[in-house]
Chains A and B, each alone.
Chain A
Amino acid sequence: MNGLPGLNHLIVLPVLIPLIVGALLIPINPTRHTLKFALSLLSGVLLWLVAVTLLLLADGQHWRAGIGVYLAANWAAPFGIALVVDRLSALMLVLTATIALAVLVFSARGWGRVGTSYYALFQFLLVGLNGAFLTNDLFNLFVFFEVMLAASYGLVLHGYNIRRIQAGMQYIAVNLVASLLFLIGVSLIYAGTGTLNITDLAVRAAKLGAQEQWLLQMGAAILALAFLTKSAMWPFGFWLPNTYASASTPVGAMLVLMTKVGVYAVLRVWLAVFGDHAGALNQFGFDALIIGGMLTLFFGAIGLLASQEGARMAGFGAIVSSGTILAIIGHGGAPVLAAGLYYLLGSTLAMAAFMLLIELTQRIQPPGAALLALTMEAFAIEDKPEDPVGVGIPGTLAFLGLSFCACALVITGMPPLAGFVAKFSLFHALLAAADGPIPLLTWSLIGLIVFAGLAAIIAFMRLGVRTFWASGVVKPPRLLFSEAAPVAALVLLCVSLTVQAGPVFNYLERTTEGLHRHQDYKKRVLGTKAVKPQPNSREKQ
């Protein structure tokens, strides 16, 4: 360990901070909204600072090979649980903290006041998300997934009405079954290899006998079913549009992030275990990912065309983005993956902003004046939080229109924003990756991405026209600063992602190249020794 050993404890903070704050929030009287909000905001800001520090540390010279290892309870790696931060997990932590901050501020005046335990559940959701991004142990990943899911069950039902319950029942049932599959997969992998540490698994996978190899393959495939259910790959993603469309706005924005956890888990495990070093198991399952990703992309695009409602569109948009990234992971190769990660950043930020924006644009039309009043009414949300009483900000319509435009540009991948940069570099990387004639699969992937873009353009145009131009009596909606600011911040982030595409791409290229250097992980994770004197070792799980 070089550098300050104390800095190593930063790695566990993204799990500890929300855990402690969440526990503190529970006994506080539910009517003290301001105190609860202030505590949550404090946790959010701290998380963001820690995440950015971790990103700088992982990208700097602080840790060898840019991989920080924290041995929970001071047990050395294959036996204890190791938390590992590298460039990828640091990036995901920053993304989580950013969106969480925006969503927290957004829900300060409205949704945060509806239920009793909103803020506490939100913090526990962050525990699960951050833990899933940090852990290097499959069973610990299961535990963090469950923490995340348990919190999300509560949040999906936030603002309890019949529609949320109907969607929530299906969401929970699907995820409970997926968790069981997760357990089966994990135990099969343990039976085959005798380890649950992802890095150790990668080392052992290459040297397995035929029978163990078979167990590992079976386990990994079943494990993938659980991950892919979370990331809504076709045909496991039917729960998603309903859940998105019925969840309250801030929860919907967090759900966008949750689909990315499944994608992240696939990326992490598959690159580590079935990469180039894996011998006979090299590239196991990657074909299934690319085909499944493409089917998901197609399904999402059709769904986008078919959906009338903003939130449902966002759900299918999330399916499209999951499908794209899964197909890219299946395709593989460091430059392609870097472009894919850039796409993930842009689309996640834009989608979260869009989820928040939907609620604000819905205030434009007085109820009943909508073009599709009948459809809308059939799905109407019954108990909304009370209408905000703040003064209308002048130019709200212009603000909403511009933000909508920006989100649509990023999600559809039109110039000049981040979505275009992402798709352009993606196509470039895909075409450059083929030596010799470009395979049919690559062409069809490119074709499908273009098709999904077209579908998204049509869907967004229709929604935009209906919302801003054809809604009849337009009354400038009243927005609170605390609602407009997070949307503006997320949109501005998308813009700066475009302006700073160069440095971001450099970082992402370092990320994906690092992910392919298995020896570094082996040395760092398995080579980190437990600290000898341990007066204040921390406990986890």
Chain B
Amino acid sequence: MELVLAIAVGILFGAGVWLILRPRTFQLITGLLLMSYAVNLFIFAMGRLWVNQPPITPTNTIDPSQLADPLPQSLVLTAIVIGFASTALYLVIMIGARGLSGSDHVDGEEPKA
């Protein structure tokens, strides 16, 4: 499972990096989204990978080795919310830029060929 997750994170992040180096805003925002997915998975994995383990237990006897780490799960939740919000904000600005400049190039103007 570690291998699968690592490859998935790597592919997502690599694709994201390639996309944010592209000149069009749609490619840029897709790249940012892919990278943020990769980062979210990565944060999740940093609490080590667990299968079928609850993060919080209702019982009084607590055995940490039988529980998944709850902290990365809450971190990833916060990161998702913040990432989502800032990407949405960026999308609005991109639409504004498209309307104002008539170009979807990241420089706000078509490159002079």
Contact = CB atoms under 8 A, between A and B. Distances in A.
A176 B101 contact: no
Query: Size band of the B side of the interface?
Result: 20 to 34
A143 B82 contact: yes
User: Main SS of chain B's interface residues?
Assistant: helix
Query: Size band of the A side of the interface?
Result: 20 to 34
B78 A169 contact: no
Given A165-B101, A165-B108, A188 B93 contact: no
A422 B18 CA distance: 44
B78 A143 contact: yes
Contact of A165 (B32, B71, B100): B100
A166 interface: yes
Nearest to B44: A187
Contact of A190 (B39, B46, B78): B46
Interface string B23-52: 001001000100110010011001110000
A468 interface: no
Contact of B86 (A150, A168, A184): A150
A63 interface: no
Given A160-B96, A165-B100, A166-B97, A150 B85 contact: yes
A180 B35 contact: yes
Contacts of A173: 20, 28, 32, 90, 106
A83 B26 CA distance: 40
Contacts of A172: 86, 89-90, 93
Given A173-B20, A180-B35, 16 more contacts: A142-B82, A150-B85, A153-B86, A157-B93, A161-B100, A165-B108, A166-B97, A166-B101, A166-B108, A169-B25, A169-B94, A170-B107, A173-B106, A180-B83, A184-B42, A191-B47
User: 3 closest pairs, A vs B, by CB?
Assistant: A166-B108, A187-B46, A191-B46
Interface of B: 20, 25, 28, 32, 35-36, 39, 42-43, 46-48, 71-72, 75, 78-79, 82-83, 85-87, 89-90, 93-94, 96-97, 100-101, 106-109
27 contacts: A150-B86, A153-B86, A153-B89, A153-B90, A153-B93, A157-B96, A160-B100, A162-B108, A165-B96, A169-B25, A170-B106, A172-B89, A172-B90, A173-B28, A176-B86, A177-B35, A179-B83, A180-B32, A180-B36, A183-B42, A183-B43, A183-B79, A187-B43, A187-B75, A190-B71, A190-B75, A196-B71
Interface of A: 139, 142-143, 146, 149-150, 153, 157, 160-162, 165-166, 168-170, 172-173, 176-177, 179-180, 183-184, 186-188, 190-191, 196
